[in-house]
Structure 1
């Protein structure tokens, strides 16, 4: 009597039945990111949301666009507020400066949201040929996404100290975020910054 087990032939199934993909069962889904999509696309059938969109904008262009926008808003608003400026007063902790900075931030918030909602670009972004696009389809972030993006960028800065720290982490986030190089305000609005023709 032989104790040797017969080897499976070409038509025999392995122990435990056929492999799931051979039995007509679906394959395991590809890995997903926080948006429920495979961040890299690829042969698994998942489509990269950036497929068909222009390439991501460089960090340098994004920075220069923000600087240009800050000057476009900051200089005129500061000139309008100039008659109300008394200089820095150490006795009251510079509360006059805080109010003036708050006005500049609020004007910047409205400017940013309106421009992004209208065309996906501020004046600085137009100059640097970059634009903000919805991650899922590349559309202009009209309405709520534009306002949410602008709010997360500008409004936390109204909080003394903590607001600046949040803003700093927010703007630096795109330097290590992969694969879309999003800042926190991009993640909040589900947007990306891409090159514009």
Structure 2
């Protein structure tokens, strides 16, 4: 009977851990190429735009076939509010619940805590997203944040990762089975 590997990162389990030999962070082999993170972010952006478009289309249909009592400005406000809620909830909730967004999942990535490899808590995930949003309002912060992983060592963290002690790793990472 063979023994299970000494460790693994299972994207479905919040209880996975790094091996005792790497308690300070993920093994280097688990750290993905920054291009994968970029593509994941672009996929999530496309998903967000599609979501806003769907909400807008639904609002336009309601405006056309609904009662005339609904003012156009109210429809726009509802679309803006629903879209903002979707943007503010999508990434933190999916990261805390599943360890990744749909874009990261498509690119084979997941977000973990550096110290032990476990999934982020909801508060850490919200903090990570809040830093990402706030840096978007700081001059050059929105550009510097995602570019930071290009020169960061050893875990290629962006600034929002550093703020909460997270790292993006290859999903399903298991030594000897790297892609």
Q: TM-score range by the shorter chain?
A: 0.5 to 0.7
Cα RMSD (Å) of the superposition? 2.9
Q: TM-score, normalised by structure 1?
A: 0.59
Q: Tell me, yes or no, if structure 1 residue 174 matches structure 2 residue 149.
A: yes
Q: What CA distance in whole angstroms lies between the structure 2 residues aligned with 1:81 and 1:155?
A: 26
1:54 touches 1:196 (CA, 8 Å); kept in 2? no
- Alpha-carbon shift at residue 143 of structure 1 (Å): 1.6
Of Structure 1 and Structure 2, the greater helix share is in 2
Q: What CA distance in whole angstroms lies between the structure 1 residues aligned with 2:146 and 2:84?
A: 16
Question: Unaligned stretches of 5+ in structure 2?
Answer: 1-20, 61-78, 173-179
Considering Cα pairs closer than 8 Å and 6+ residues apart, tell me whether 1 or 2 has the greater RCO.
2
Q: Tell me, yes or no, if structure 1 residue 120 matches structure 2 residue 133.
A: no
Could you list the runs of 4 or more consecutive aligned residues of structure 1 that deviate by over 4 angstroms after TM superposition?
51-54, 100-106
Q: What CA distance in whole angstroms lies between the structure 1 residues aligned with 2:121 and 2:28?
A: 18
1:52-63 alignment, distance < 5 Å: 55-63=30-38
- Alpha-carbon shift at residue 47 of structure 1 (Å): 5.0
Counterpart secondary structure, 2:24: coil
Give a deviation string over 1:24-59, Cα, whole Å, max 9, x none. Answer: xxxxxxxxxxxxxxxxxxxxxx95523568610111
Q: What CA distance in whole angstroms lies between the structure 1 residues aligned with 2:162 and 2:96?
A: 17
Distance 1:76 1:193, change over 3 A: same
Aligned partner of 1:72 in structure 2 is 47
Q: TM-score, normalised by structure 2?
A: 0.65
Q: Tell me, yes or no, if structure 1 residue 191 matches structure 2 residue 166.
A: yes
Paired positions, count: 135
Distance 1:71 1:176, change over 3 A: same
